[in-house]
Amino acid sequence: MAVGVLALQGSFNEHIAALKRLGVKGVEVRKPEQLQNVSSLIIPGGESTTMAKLAELHNLFPALREFVQMGKPVWGTCAGLIFLANKATGQKTGGQELIGGLDCTVHRNFFGSQIQSFETELPIPQIVAKEGGPSSFRAVFIRAPAILDVGPDVEVLADIHVSAIETINSNPSIQKEEDSAESGKKVIVAVKQGNLLATAFHPELTADTRWHSYFLKMAPESADGTSAIVSSSTTDQSSGGRPTIDFPIYH
């Protein structure tokens, strides 16, 4: 079965292109019944309030929650991370509806506004252990959220020293974190809990497909014991080879 990509708004085309580079079919999901035809789901980055309103309009929230509760793999990037969180702070007046399931608290727009977006080399030891390749990942943060705390069953895959990002030090939320002795000047930006994966950044905007490959391997095994989704990457990450690119993305 194909991988679904929630296609209400945001970077769903970029995720579908990344899946294609791995030899996997990604399909756009806009209606509840379309979830029946996919084995896993990616919730892309975008404008979380707009996405929530569109999801409510199409009556998607009950079906999305059921999909998560069934144990099918779901990956939320940026706005998708906010959707999966059990609790979100820093929201607009009135808040927004969440899917939930991920035992964490997310701060919306933690790193500041659009002009405070940034890129950084992010250490990813757990991903390297599974996927190989360089020890860090070029993470693209666009008006990004951050995870402030996690429950005991949540595995932290990546965190970031907020004081190291010079372009965002003027944000009051970050300054508050830096002044806190408990924060250690770090916030969490990637986690995994059971069937749920979440990243505050945008792997789909880079040529590095290791996060997508990692997610595909979260799919349940089929009856014959083989992986339900087989990755056939055109990129040799270990040797530094370059993939065949058919979509404008960052290198």
**Residue 102 contacts residue 114 (beta carbons within 8 Å):** no
For the ranges 3-12, 216-225, 235-244, the lowest mean pLDDT is seen at 235-244
pLDDT confidence of 188, banded at 50, 70, 90? very high
Specify the pLDDT at position 49.
Answer: 83
Specify the pLDDT at position 246.
Answer: 39
What is the value of pTM for the model shown? 0.81
DSSP conformational letter for 129:
H
Q: Which residue has the higher pLDDT, 30 or 246?
A: 30
Specify the pLDDT at position 234.
Answer: 37
What average pLDDT does the structure give for the chain?
81
Using the predicted structure, report yes or no on whether residue 170 has a pLDDT greater than 50: yes
Those residues with Cβ within 8 angstroms of residue 183's Cβ, 6 or more apart along the chain or in another chain? 177
User: Cα(149)–Cα(14) distance, rounded to whole angstroms?
Assistant: 29
What length is written for the chain? Answer: 251
Query: What positions carry a catalytic annotation?
Result: 78, 202, 204
Specify the pLDDT at position 237.
Answer: 40
Specify the pLDDT at position 10.
Answer: 84
pLDDT > 90: percent of the chain: 60
Using the predicted structure, report yes or no on whether residue 117 has a pLDDT greater than 90: no
Mean pLDDT calculated for residue range 8-17: 92
Q: Give the residue from 148, 187, 198 showing the smallest Cα distance to 164.
A: 187
